[in-house]
Structure 1
């Protein structure tokens, strides 16, 4: 059985320990400068590398100070190296115009590499729901593969790193079954987390119907609607027309019209009573409506 790896168990030596007086020291892992062209994305990497404000901050840091913390990678059978930790740093190096990046090269198994990759990213403050969902699922699959205890205890262990309950972890794992386009809607807030859980239980065809219906109607799904979708699909009764009909239901538009009395009075002689004015206004409105 493969030994269990964890980001917490990976010893990242300090720069003083690594470099000392500039001479290699026996028994101490050495940082290697690896060509960016040799560093490849982790297979199934769930975390997005975006050109956002955070990335710009990383770029400025790399430009001014270099890469302060080396990344971690492992050799690939087909050549080059698979990044385990350091995808954002690699992209920043690329944007700065560097050719290489400092890396620790380690011979991790698939299970060890997956656990370290997830643990080194899962506690980020800006993590997206889709990223967390995929990451939890990847680590859960590894734990099952390694023979970890199934059920609530395993889910509790998964959420331990982020302080989330087993129930919350389970919800995210369910959400990971959504299509990429639906996950994008979850990330943008178009679909709520609880609604996403319900939709994750739909068949692939039904998920596609929901996606198309949302795109066509710009609907915002309520928890009641998502529960109805889930129940109808479970019974084998859900169809595309049913999805559209359900999501096209709109709340009545609340309109409040206020017209100043002074403006109304300016159209009528002082001898007209309020009832006279109201009667004339509605007669005019009826005439207008009949011409539409």
Structure 2
């Protein structure tokens, strides 16, 4: 019969115990004092003392660390953790003094790729985590000699199954100020809106965020595109932002679809703005798909 402790161990806990990285044949596992470990520089993934961590700590107490972390020598002594930050934290909380690791003498770019790839497949990753992780891996692959912006982006997303275009959109989010990026993380601002606002200067983004809070309005994709265009034309200021956010829809040469027909595609709980954001997101994906087809000489109907 399985013990109650074993029943509480969820998949995420097993990932923390076993890890996702593959050890190289012949590598030696050694235990090092956890007070000699240092976090990876600009580590983009959050290590939280949440319920999942509690489960991991219980597992560590019972089973130990089943897959060693990966570290590399730290310039000022000790070791920098490349893979295994959650296991390291679990060891601390479990009261362990040492952690099993594999020591690799690797350069910054190789270490960055390993760090990102061993974390990126988790199901609970926030958009902000992916944004900075993909940006770090993209720069690392460029340093390693990857040629072509599109090809490099495809390599970045390969581990997680994301397309090159999706990777580029996540990387754009890394240009958002923290206030806007936080709203993307909690799904108040759709990713497509965040991407468009990421092209604004930091000062312009601060103005947009202030206006959003004052008006209690989240821009639609169309409004975000208009704000971006005003910025490109050097016409974006506080008055323009408020005007664009509060502007009512024009009844000009637009396409009108009955609300009854649209509502049949959405759950009853969806608000008007949520429906609009989904439609704009799908149209954007369709547009990007058409652009890729034309780029490759494909023109399908």
Please state if 1:101 is matched with 2:91.
no
- Residues 40-59 of structure 1: per-residue CA shift (max 9 Å, x gap): 11001111111223222211
Out of 235, 238, 241, the residue aligned to residue 237 of structure 1 is 235
Distance 2:64 2:235 in 1: 59
* TM-aligned CA deviation for residue 95 of structure 1: 1.6
1:8 shift after superposition = 9.2
Counterpart in the other structure of 2:135: 137
Helix, strand or coil for the counterpart of 1:189?
Answer: coil
Gaps of 5+ in 1: 1-6, 14-27, 252-292
Indicate the SS of the match to 2:148. Answer: coil
Distance 1:93-1:244 versus aligned 2 partners, 3 A rule: farther
Corresponding residue of 1:258: none
Task: Deviation per CA, 1:135-154: give whole Å up to 9, x if none.
Answer: 11111111111221112222
Q: Distance in 2 between matches of 1:44 and 1:250?
A: 43
TM-score norm. by structure 1 comes to 0.74
Alignment equivalent of 1:81, drawn from 75, 79, 82: 79
Deviations 1:82-129 (A, max 9, x none): 110011111111122222211111111001100100110111111111
Q: Which residue is 2:262 aligned to?
A: none
Q: Give the match for residue 289 of structure 1.
A: none
Aligned counterparts of 2:78 and 2:239: Cα–Cα separation in 1: 51
The CA distance in 2 between the partners of 1:64 and 1:10, in whole Å, is 23
SS at match of 1:98: coil
Closer, same or farther: CA 248–52 of 1 in aligned 2, 3 Å? farther
Q: Map residues 118-197 of structure 1 onto 2, 5 A cutoff.
A: 118-197=116-195
Cα 1:68–1:114 shift into 2, 3 Å:
same
Residue matched to 2:202: 204
Q: How does 1:1-292 map to 2 (within 5 A)?
A: 11-12=23-24, 28-248=26-246
Contact 2:72–2:80 (8 Å) recurs in 1: yes
> How far did 1:156 drift?
1.7
Query: Would the alpha carbon gap of residues 31 and 213 (structure 1) be closer, same or farther in structure 2, given more than 3 Å must change?
Result: same
Q: Is the 8 A contact 2:21 2:118 kept in 1?
A: no
| TM-score, structure 2 as length reference | 0.71
Q: Higher Cα Rg: structure 1 or 2?
A: 1
Moved more, 93-102 or 198-207: 93-102
- Please give the per-residue CA displacement for 1:215-273, whole angstroms capped at 9, x wherever unaligned: 3343222111111110111111111233234335699xxxxxxxxxxxxxxxxxxxxxx
RMSD (Å), alpha carbons: 2.1
Structure 2 unmatched runs, 5+ = 1-18, 250-301
